Chains A and B, each alone.
Chain A
Amino acid sequence: EVQLVESGGGLVQPGGSLRLSCAASGFTVTNNYMTWVRQAPGKGLEWVSVIYSGGGSYFADSVKGRFTISRDNSKNTLYLQMSSLRAEDTAVYYCARIDHSYYGMDVWGQGTTVTVSS
């Protein structure tokens, strides 16, 4: 079964760091485009970052310079390293697979919650 399971969310103080994980099953992370999307409380979906199968990555302006995206082939896992966290980074973070033929996000995880607060 094709599945994504996120973990690593929690409560962190402003300025702190956190690493989110997204474990995949049923397909290989490194052979696909993978992305992170978040939803702040009461807000809509916001695209955060993408990593292409070739390794190139892009970020939303709101997280550029603070977040990095990576993957581990041996663990078939996608990561989002978040640093210099701000209150406005509080959100449910979803990982998703992008079908590279049509750039649609066809497989999604259930999400992990990040709360940035003192």
Chain B
Amino acid sequence: QSALTQPASVSGSPGQAITISCTGASSDVGNYEYVSWYQHHPGKAPKLMIYEVSNRPSGVSNRFSGSKSGNTASLTISGLQAEDEADYYCSSYTSYSTIYVFGTGTKVTVL
């Protein structure tokens, strides 16, 4: 089971919107709605930002949104803010015996 593929880095200016892609396969992203996104600031605990492709947990800003098409899921951050600078990981349930898989991770830089 290989990691889901994400771009290594994405950057944007404050106020802009950016989108992070997460490409998997029919055994994971393409076949399940159990796609989540996590924000990870170095040295801190990861934080759940999106679950079930497009749902936000209570307390997460509505600037964060998720979607999926085929084997690719996406996270969009609109109105980019300095505090959004972090690493972002997607994850998916998978039909393999390994059950879960994370993406390779994307470093978001606010210019």
A59: B residues at CB distance < 8 A: 98
Within the assembled complex, what's the spacing in Å between the Cα atoms of A44 and B90? 11
Pick the residue among A47, A96, A109, A110 that contacts B98 (CB under 8 A): A47
Q: Is A1 part of the contact surface with B, judged by Cβ < 8 Å?
A: no
Most buried by B among A47, A58, A96: A47
Q: Could you give, for residues 17-36 of chain B, a 1 whenever the CB lies within 8 Å of some chain A CB and a 0 otherwise?
A: 00000000000000000101
Pick the residue among A58, A102, A103 that contacts B97 (CB under 8 A): A58
Pick the residue among B36, B52, B55, B101 that contacts A105 (CB under 8 A): B36
Q: Is A99 part of the contact surface with B, judged by Cβ < 8 Å?
A: yes
Residue of B nearest to A6 (CB): B45
Cβ-defined contact, A47 with B47, below 8 A: no
Interface size on B, residues (CB 8 A): 28
Within the assembled complex, what's the spacing in Å between the Cα atoms of A61 and B46? 23
Cβ-defined contact, A50 with B99, below 8 A: yes
Cβ-defined contact, A110 with B44, below 8 A: yes
Question: Shortest CB–CB separation between residue B38 and chain A, in angstroms?
Answer: 7
Within the assembled complex, what's the spacing in Å between the Cα atoms of A58 and B55? 26
Cβ-defined contact, B99 with A58, below 8 A: yes
Cβ-defined contact, A44 with B102, below 8 A: yes
Interface of A toward B, CB cutoff 8 Å: 35, 37, 44-47, 50, 58-61, 94, 96, 99, 102-106, 108-111
20 contacts between A and B (CB under 8 A): A44-B3, A44-B87, A44-B103, A45-B102, A46-B102, A47-B100, A50-B100, A58-B99, A60-B98, A103-B34, A103-B36, A103-B100, A104-B48, A104-B52, A105-B46, A105-B91, A106-B57, A108-B45, A109-B45, A110-B44
